[in-house]
Structure 1
């Protein structure tokens, strides 16, 4: 049984679709999702998965969702309104440690961040890496997917590029900006969730091949 968190989010939705379309172990009762609003799930998804309603920051929801589970896709959803990014990540990670640890979940695939070398006082990067350490301390097999800048974040530039020929980014114009797409993250997550051969705890950098700068 695989649990998928954030199944209506930008990345979780793609992970779920890939698992459902997988020919070897994805579809049917083998997938359970945690979702705040089940109505946001497409009809074909609701027909093929088990649904646990609520937030995966809620220990009671996690307790219900963990039963019979051996694999989990874990993503802390962004919250611009949170008082602190570190506290937001802890609000999700502590229930995971308390409820899921030692309860049959053997493999966790989580979405973290590239940048371990600059983790001190680095906002979401620091919070993500603290999450990785907390999950690793649970003793589960863990793969931390580490993307850099998401290509989809550049879509907000489309209008200014079209209307004014201008491109804005808080980066030196000649400095390489490493990128990947949310689809790259989802594809890697689905592959790992369907593979029961890997063990241990490792980072998985997800860096596209292009050496592109703002210029």
Structure 2
């Protein structure tokens, strides 16, 4: 059975998982346009074209929508990291691979990336899966003598804070896709790697060549 249009009303017997997914897809478009802090249940219901009762069965509050959407985006992006985790043992290369894959995935799907950034500014609980992986890998790199010893929380904030800022700059059309490479090089050198090695590792893990150059203007 093919995908139905977003405007088609809920049919009797539609699988619950399909309706839930359709609601979240529509919610993502609303959040991309309005931001997470000004959306109402009515905004989501109107965008999804389901009854209010159907909507509230799945998401009784706006916060439930934000939390579910945040979790879905995180898990979808994390699924794209499986190949790196299964094939790369070196902790430094794996950190670079994770950062590059997050960068490439959110550029390849601008709506998803922009929604993820906007959700960061909401009260939705943070998903910690990448941060936990980063902590483990950063500790291993220090133990291997590759990174300088330092405050782990500061390193994590530097890595993911810089990544989110770079994504925002990309969506505002201020930088190109190659910003991901420059960012990873700077992070690895800040953590203790020599610039030449950091550059080589970043180039090895950079996936944006398949996406192409240019800039984006998602934000308005």
Tell me if TM exceeds 0.5: no
With the length of structure 2 as denominator, give the TM-score of the two structures: 0.26
With the length of structure 1 as denominator, give the TM-score of the two structures: 0.26
Task: Give the helix-richer structure, 1 or 2.
Answer: 2
Which structure: larger Rg?
2
